[in-house]
Amino acid sequence: MFRQSKWPKSLIFEKSTPGRQGFIGPELHPDEKNILEKAKKTIPENLLREESPSLPEVTELEVVRHFTRLSQMNYGVDSGFYPLGSCTMKYNPKVCDTAASLANAQNIHPYQPEDTVQGSLKIMYELACWLGELSGMSGVTLQPAAGAHGEYTGLMILRKYHETRQNLETKNEIIVPDSAHGTNPATVSMCGFKTIVIPSNDDGCVNIDALKASVTENTAGMMLTNPNTLGIFEPNIKEITNIIHEVDGLMYYDGANFNAIMGKVRPGDMGFDIVHFNLHKTFATPHGGGGPGAGPVGVISRLIPYLPVPTVSYSPSEKSYYFNYSHEHTIGKIRSYFGNFSTLLRAYTYILRLGQTGLTRVSEMANLNANYMKTQCTKINGFSVPYGELSSCMHEFVLSAKKLFKETEISALDISKYLLDTGLHPPTVYFPLIVPEALMIEPTETEPKEVIDTFIEALKKVSELAYSGRTEKILGAPNSTSVGRIDDVKAAREPIISYRMLKNM
């Protein structure tokens, strides 16, 4: 039976004993001492710290035990199945980490002269070219640090495009379908536009009549993910992009679901003008918990002058790579330095390792696994797929436990807690909002059939327990995790996110 470790919940600060040391650094060289003294003099007096920072005083062994125990209380893709729909929690091949931890990649500084980092610039240049090729875009910036940051970058490009054409006064609305990820409307507001939400049709796709009714001369563009958040490929995508282009709007492709289409179809060919990629999803770099990500943005050739600076270019005459600051209408810089280089390097390794055939196979397997799961899950009493039940899905699908809830009062939340006790990470729940008691499932291409079957069996068990009235195991779950059922509302409304906050309670 699955059981997570439970260790005393003391913080490393609470383990501190005055005088204990885990590491004794080497004596500073006199030159280093001089540099330090000089540097100190440049710090304004009011910013100089009087006391040493309050750090835990622990031995190396205590540090190792503390973090080993924490890792045993954790759950990740390396521990088990993690079908978190839309978040693409797939296995990240270790070779990508190996590449990112090579000394050549670790020991460089963003301020180094270009001629000393030609290899790194080449990697960035080639990665941008490959992403452009995969998406049908002509120029790519690697700067954005996450998907949502890519959305922000993309919409600022869109904004500047209308501004330079003196159209911004009228072009102030962005259309977003009701199934969109929450970051889409949030980005629209952040970039100073009004969100126009359009309903989905009965198949979960864009309702063309509603779209036509919403498009006016105020339409600055539309944000869409394809396949959409329900895991369904928009069959009318060409018509949608034409409708928006007819009013000089731009089409934004939310590339969080890019792992469904690699090597098969390209957003550029569908008529999109701006695309973001979630490297930390599609191109297998670890993510979650606020870890580093990367959300490069690709654009069609007309929008290259608007890209953030610098991009990386190659000079055939000099035979060298360089930072290119000459983008006429650039939106400026959107991140310090040049992006999350180690994440870029992982994605580069991943693409290089798989090649075009491998990437195409990734999407095929992601879609195959999702379709197998969908077919099996819809057979379970209490569950249905409200959108696209009879057609095939792409890399994910949204299951509804509405019937189960109505007939047994076992909700999507209860199911997710029960799954934890079986050693499986639950899917995304209650999203998208248009599906009642939603369980959004994305198995990913990296899982073998027997793991997927374990999940299907666990759902069958839920149904069996719920319909036979034996619900204690479900309602009492999780019992085998290091943390039991938490008060979700309190956690969201009154989060305690720092040691200082905890101490002040």
Q: Where do contacts with ligand PLP occur on this chain (CB under 6 A)? A: 86-87, 146-148, 181, 183, 225, 229, 254, 256, 278, 293, 295
The residue number whose beta carbon is nearest to ligand PLP equals 147
Closer to ligand PLP by CB, 87 or 128: give it: 87
Using the 8-state DSSP alphabet, how is residue 28 labeled? Answer: P
Nearer to ligand PLP, 148 or 211 (CB): 148
Q: Which two tokens stand for residue 28?
A: 């500073």
Cβ 274 to ligand PLP, closest distance in Å?
14
- Residue 181 CB, shortest distance to ligand PLP, in Å, is 3
Q: Choose among 124, 104, 158, 29: nearest CA to 321.
A: 124
Distances (CA, A) of 412 to 89, 152, 180, 407, 483: 20, 32, 20, 13, 19
CA distances from 496 to 66, 87, 499 (A): 20, 25, 8
- Shortest Cβ distance from residue 80 to ligand PLP (Å)? 20
Task: Pick between residue 340 and residue 408 the one whose CB is nearest to ligand PLP.
Answer: 340
Taking CA atoms, 462 is separated from 212, 413, 494, in Å, by 43, 12, 32
Report the C-alpha gap between 333 and 339 in whole angstroms.
Answer: 11
Our CB check for ligand PLP shows the closer of 278 and 330 to be: 278
Q: How far is the CB of 229 from ligand PLP (least distance, A)?
A: 6
Closer of 182 and 355 to ligand PLP (Cβ): 182
Minimum distance between the CB of residue 32 and ligand PLP, rounded to whole angstroms? 40
Question: Taking the CB of residue 119, how many other CB atoms lie within 10 A of it?
Answer: 11
CB of 278 to ligand PLP, least distance (A): 5
Residue closer to ligand PLP, measured from CB, 296 or 423: 296
| Nearest distance in Å: CB 444, ligand PLP | 13
Rounded Cα–Cα distance for residues 471 and 198 (Å): 39
Q: Give min distance, CB of 228 to ligand PLP, in A.
A: 9
Closest approach, Cβ 78 to ligand PLP, in A, equals 20
Q: What is the 3-state secondary structure (H, E, C) of 400-420?
A: ECHHHHHHHCCCHHHHHHHHH
DSSP code for 173 = E
**Beta carbon nearer to ligand PLP, 293 or 339:** 293
Of 166, 182, 171, 266, which is closest to residue 221 (Cα–Cα)? 171
What totals of helices (H) and strands (E) does the chain contain, helices first? 18, 12
**Please, which residue, 181 or 395, has the CB nearer to ligand PLP?**
181
Task: Name the one residue in this structure whose structure tokens are 């610098």.
Answer: 310
- Between 200 and 229, CB nearer to ligand PLP: 229
231 near 432, Cβ under 8 Å? no
- Gap between the Cα atoms of 451 and 456, Å rounded: 9
Residue 63's H or E segment, with its range, is helix 60-72
* Residue 308 to residue 153: CA distance in whole angstroms: 8
